[in-house]
Structure 1
């Protein structure tokens, strides 16, 4: 095999649409090319072995923030064993400089969209024509690009998410995001794209993740895509990233028709503070955002995923806490709390001096300290984020976790809880569900002084939502009282500790 296309996905269930674009546009070289995907959990030497066993002349690797360190090690091993194999890198992590991970052993780097450029470079390599090591690309016409969807295998369709895109680019200029570097939004031919979706559906695809940065920017296209799924029989899953202030009535009407579990909308809020939003060149229409979140929460079955960022230039803990309190008051949905990252090529670095921004040069390049947040406060917020995921976002303690704050500040009370639980575990990882539940139970009863029976009732009701759950030892004394006051009894879970 002359050409191997590979990457390390963050999970096994993910697939790389980028590799399939490259493969789809290899023209006559396609018969001598192969896609081989891995995950970041695979052993690097084993990955090298599985690539080199094909004796490739060229290995193209997709490089991202989550795999760049592993890719650096992989390049080192490949070049030690097979120094004549040409290594070509592409992807967001190498499209902008400076490179903060050693990639010196790579032979070529394609910066920008490589759909057509990779083919031309492979031709030059085979024809022994000279080429620059770093190849800077503009944006190719989407009309000239072969679509990649038929190159998802039946195994992909059966076991993994299928990534698709109706457009590329983003019209906004948020300074922390690489998409702000795009000059404009470009759309694929919608009729052709829908035919490709239909083909995937006929092959059994049911899990679709749209990577468009602004799905609801073009309402006509958005309606066409929603209509596609509304004509299909559930169950299926469609994920879209949307802007929060642009939901005209035609879009709302269609979103309201989706059944539970069919539609997921990811909404990048990032901050609700107008001053901070202005700092990072992010448009913020608060009234519209609140109105649309309320609509999605109360009038649809869509699963909503909201994003907030810790460490934005000028943002204090108090300001961030107000953001979180506001979002929780608006919705019961998942709220992802992320830490600001400094990606090469973004404009966020213009705040470094004024706001004392200090970042790690090790992936994922997260902020370590600002003039408003100390290193220790950001460390605390990283743990806050992790415990928030484990308790609030996981859905395992959907109602009982709310007892931490009840009618008071969500942020202030959960902040205290995160400090306490870390004092008990000295870790944010490898905490079993039973251990986590016991800690929550203890905190509510011993620290918050909430009535024990009331806490037990709420935690047992949370457990009832998932059939087959086992009642842990710390709740066993309260099951008889719960059964007497609950018509459903404990049929939803096993009473014996396994």
Structure 2
């Protein structure tokens, strides 16, 4: 049993609640009375309530995010019905910007905005000692990083074996991109390097091999970036995987010299390009040297083994369908392994909200608050981009259609893939639950009847990709081709030789 429960709902089982572990690590003398429980958004709210109440806690604190606010709202509503005496405290980005608060805030007893490592334990101490004259909204106090207790020992062995291990070498961001909550930070502050690396060594010795750095600007301070990369370079193993979010236009020579030493499959760089349009960049206070960004992405693809995950955002103020397409075409030429096509979301407190009226930014009132239309981007076209993004994941990012994709996009990648996406949706009336074999068949139909591609080229590309897919029975359009039968026969013959 615990007096205090801290909890949240993760988007997927593989995720871990890094913020809760920081909170738990810094509960001080209340840690022995605190339980950390994690759930998933797929779980039934009533079952979550049952497990929470088994702790018989006086205080339950929830971490509320854009991806779980609806589910947490349902959990809190049930709690208030069956256990009204339980004190509910909300924290996290979704409740940190009053008066812009979700409806669940009305049900909460207290809300801690911003950082909670100091303010939440103080609140709990007051409540457990009978102090009740406390304002409902408590402004979180940011702690000096050197005074924080590190959270890494609170990853369980199961976490290390089965889940993503989140780590941070710095907090904050010096940039002011208005679509991002990090624009509210004053600057980026690093944790002390040697203690941080000691924690990484302990995690590594415990078996951790999948490290996801949540630093917004990993390559901002090159000395630290190089030291961290060299630390892991000395511990290279076949299963080591490192994810970093990097600034696209800052790749000095010292950093390049370390990056080139990593073998394939270890480094993943998430590169936030967002847009190549200088007018939009200026409008949303984004400082990005587009030429350096292009040069650095080219260098990474040509001279390193890093996997590049590049982000674009559709629906920014001033953006248009054609303008977004131009950024997509600019990016695809640079050949990142993945292009994440994101749709703008309304983040509470983000400075971009100052453009809501001027650019008629209209968002879905339901989480995750996706942009619906703007003065320059119609609802219909944003819906098309949403489907484009999903089909791009299936065709472009999956790696399953490496021979077919160049035929689809040709020399006008955005326009042609949008045409492909529109036609695919017409056939399916869905972007989900499309089996791989059916996806091959649909792709063949669209390439033949909509894109009007040469039949021989289409069959050749799709047969190559299908043979790599692992699917056992070929789609209908390949079943009668001599080539696919011959290749499958050769593959079976080779397989029998090793039996």
Alignment TM class, shorter chain as reference: over 0.9
Instruction: Give, in whole Å, the separation in 2 of the partners of 1:145 and 1:314.
Output: 42
The yes-or-no answer on 1:297 pairing with 2:298 is: no
Instruction: Give, in whole Å, the separation in 1 of the partners of 2:299 and 2:492.
Output: 34
Q: 1:479 deviation in Å?
A: 5.7
Q: 1:436 deviation in Å?
A: 1.3
| SS of structure 2 residue aligned to 1:196 | helix
| SS of structure 1 residue aligned to 2:244 | strand
User: Could you say which residue in structure 2 is the equivalent of 1:314?
Assistant: 318
Instruction: Give, in whole Å, the separation in 1 of the partners of 2:265 and 2:492.
Output: 24
User: Could you say which residue in structure 2 is the equivalent of 1:71?
Assistant: 72
User: Could you say which residue in structure 1 is the equivalent of 2:428?
Assistant: 425
Instruction: Give, in whole Å, the separation in 2 of the partners of 1:479 and 1:26.
Output: 67
The yes-or-no answer on 1:189 pairing with 2:195 is: no
Q: CA RMSD in A?
A: 1.8
Instruction: Give, in whole Å, the separation in 1 of the partners of 2:488 and 2:334.
Output: 31
User: Could you say which residue in structure 2 is the equivalent of 1:43?
Assistant: 44
Q: 1:149 deviation in Å?
A: 0.1
Alignment of 1:110-129 (within 5 A): 110-129=112-131
User: Could you say which residue in structure 2 is the equivalent of 1:366?
Assistant: 370
Alignment match of 1:470 (pick from 472, 484, 499): 472
The TM-score with structure 2 as length reference comes to 0.95
**Please, which moves more after superposition, 473-482 or 178-187?**
473-482
| SS of structure 2 residue aligned to 1:469 | coil
1:101/1:362 contact within 8 Å kept? no
User: Could you say which residue in structure 1 is the equivalent of 2:417?
Assistant: 414
Instruction: Give, in whole Å, the separation in 2 of the partners of 1:299 and 1:13.
Output: 32
User: Could you say which residue in structure 2 is the equivalent of 1:331?
Assistant: 335
Deviation per residue, 1:43-66 (Å, 9 max, x gap): 111111111111111111111000
Instruction: Give, in whole Å, the separation in 2 of the partners of 1:279 and 1:491.
Output: 59
**Please, which moves more after superposition, 441-450 or 212-221?**
441-450
Aligned residue pairs total 491
Deviation per residue, 1:180-210 (Å, 9 max, x gap): 0111211111100000000001000111110
User: Closer, same or farther in 2 for the Cα pair 1:465/1:434, shift >3 Å?
Assistant: closer
Q: 1:100 deviation in Å?
A: 3.2
User: Closer, same or farther in 2 for the Cα pair 1:461/1:492, shift >3 Å?
Assistant: farther
Instruction: Give, in whole Å, the separation in 2 of the partners of 1:291 and 1:443.
Output: 35
Alignment of 1:224-243 (within 5 A): 224-234=227-237, 235-243=239-247
Instruction: Give, in whole Å, the separation in 1 of the partners of 2:494 and 2:91.
Output: 49
| SS of structure 1 residue aligned to 2:105 | coil
Q: 1:492 deviation in Å?
A: 11
1:61/1:88 contact within 8 Å kept? yes
Instruction: Give, in whole Å, the separation in 2 of the partners of 1:292 and 1:93.
Output: 34
User: Could you say which residue in structure 2 is the equivalent of 1:14?
Assistant: 15
Q: 1:487 deviation in Å?
A: 11
Q: 1:366 deviation in Å?
A: 1.6
2:26/2:118 contact within 8 Å kept? yes
Q: 1:16 deviation in Å?
A: 0.7
Q: 1:465 deviation in Å?
A: 3.7
The yes-or-no answer on 1:273 pairing with 2:277 is: yes
1:268/1:307 contact within 8 Å kept? yes
Q: 1:375 deviation in Å?
A: 1.1
Instruction: Give, in whole Å, the separation in 2 of the partners of 1:58 and 1:399.
Output: 56
| SS of structure 2 residue aligned to 1:103 | helix
1:463/1:493 contact within 8 Å kept? no
Alignment match of 1:247 (pick from 234, 248, 251): 251
Instruction: Give, in whole Å, the separation in 2 of the partners of 1:190 and 1:493.
Output: 53
Alignment match of 1:457 (pick from 455, 460, 467): 460
User: Could you say which residue in structure 1 is the equivalent of 2:441?
Assistant: 438
The TM-score with structure 1 as length reference comes to 0.95
1:170/1:180 contact within 8 Å kept? yes
Runs of 4+ aligned structure 1 residues displaced above 6 Å come to: none
The yes-or-no answer on 1:378 pairing with 2:382 is: yes
Stretches of structure 2 lacking an aligned partner (at least 5 in a row)? none
1:6/1:61 contact within 8 Å kept? yes
1:391/1:401 contact within 8 Å kept? yes
**Please, which moves more after superposition, 161-170 or 231-240?**
231-240
Q: 1:475 deviation in Å?
A: 4.7
Instruction: Give, in whole Å, the separation in 1 of the partners of 2:50 and 2:228.
Output: 42
Stretches of structure 1 lacking an aligned partner (at least 5 in a row)? none
Instruction: Give, in whole Å, the separation in 1 of the partners of 2:254 and 2:490.
Output: 44
Instruction: Give, in whole Å, the separation in 1 of the partners of 2:357 and 2:89.
Output: 36
Deviation per residue, 1:344-379 (Å, 9 max, x gap): 111112222322222222211121111111111111
